[in-house]
């Protein structure tokens, strides 16, 4: 395991297989593991600051990718099975919560030892995208004005669920009428959503106005040579500002470019499906860089 890059994937996602192939093509060892291992009855243990995941000692990994941020939501991810004959299935709910807590705790311990992409802190930005926008604005980056209000039927323009995406939660697209939503004061009928990995843009799509975060499969690809340099620079700077090694930024193009939305827990499987192997190759380059040049707090 020593020096290999560990890829903790979501069940059924093709991303870790693609990233592992890109790493191995570049001569780097990789191991694929299940991010939801405790929920599937697979062993994850923490002892004396060491994390062992499905028998692999991740404390010896060069770097670790968690495919999605993990936030220990207190409720079950689904109501299915919570009631059995009208009686709460307390044991099942308790096991679910304990498994989620173990995943979050293990990643927290691991992030103190090794470079982890999507460490526990990343989940706070993933589930509260408005807070990330405020953070960007405080650091002087141009951000489109937004407000929080109840979603209305047929809301036009840009709108986002107030709660963003992490491993356990999927934002509603669009939010149901009456639910809290982020509404954006942006007149543009299209924008560019940019996927950043490390300090580089790895994919970009032009998307129509509508629900956020954008589904990259609904947009048209923007070739790297056609992406305005100021937009790429703004996206990379914004990602660095909020310390999100992987994120998707929706940017209003034009003379006065502004960040419209930032997703610190982007759907990597959707990006891989929409943009191809370039996404996996970009993630692999980022992980190799982190393994070879770990941040100061991991040295």
Ranges of CATH 3.30.470.20 domains, the chain: 125-274
- Residue 261: pLDDT band (50, 70, 90) is very high
Q: Note the Cα 178 to chain centre separation in Å.
A: 26
CA–CA dist 252, 234 (Å, integer) = 11
- Residue 88: pLDDT band (50, 70, 90) is low
DSSP label at 143?
B
Residue 299, pLDDT > 50, answer no
Q: At a CB cut-off of 8 Å and minimum separation 6, what does 240 contact?
A: 199
Encode pLDDT of 139-170 as tens digits: 999 999 999 999 888 777 899 999 999 998 88
- Residue 285: pLDDT band (50, 70, 90) is very high
Residue 76, pLDDT > 60, answer no
Residue 12: its H or E element? none
Which pLDDT belongs to residue 114?
A: 92
Task: Name the CATH superfamily, with its identifier, for domain 125-274.
Answer: ATP-grasp fold, B domain (3.30.470.20)
């Amino acid at each position: 395991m020593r020096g290999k890059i560990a890829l903790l994937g979501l069940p059924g996602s093709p991303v870790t297989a693609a990233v592992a192939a890109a790493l191995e093509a570049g001569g780097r060892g990789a191991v694929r593991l299940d991010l939801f291992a405790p929920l599937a009855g697979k062993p994850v243990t923490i002892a004396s600051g060491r994390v062992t995941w499905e028998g692999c000692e991740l404390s010896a990994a060069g770097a670790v990718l968690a495919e999605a941020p993990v936030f220990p939501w207190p409720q079950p991810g689904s109501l299915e099975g919570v009631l059995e004959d009208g009686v709460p299935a307390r044991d099942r709910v308790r096991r679910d919560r304990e498994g989620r807590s173990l995943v979050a705790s293990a990643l927290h311990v691991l992030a103190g030892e090794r470079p982890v992409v999507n460490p526990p802190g990343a989940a706070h930005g993933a589930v509260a995208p408005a807070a990330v926008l405020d953070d960007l604005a405080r650091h002087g980056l141009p951000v489109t004005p937004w407000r929080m209000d109840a979603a209305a039927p047929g809301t036009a323009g840009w709108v986002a669920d107030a709660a963003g995406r992490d491993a356990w939660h999927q934002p509603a697209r669009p939010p149901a009428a009456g639910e809290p939503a982020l509404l954006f004061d942006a007149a543009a009928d299209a924008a560019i959503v940019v996927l950043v990995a490390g300090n580089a843009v790895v994919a970009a799509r032009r998307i129509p106005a509508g629900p956020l975060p954008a589904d990259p499969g609904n947009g048209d690809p923007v070739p790297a040579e056609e992406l305005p340099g100021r937009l790429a620079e703004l996206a990379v700077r914004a990602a660095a500002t909020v310390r999100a090694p992987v994120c998707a930024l929706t940017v209003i193009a034009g003379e006065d470019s502004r960040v419209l939305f930032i997703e610190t827990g982007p759907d990597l499987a959707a990006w891989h499906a929409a943009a191809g192997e370039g996404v996996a190759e970009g993630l692999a380059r980022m992980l190799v860089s982190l393994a070879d040049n770990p941040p100061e707090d991991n040295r």
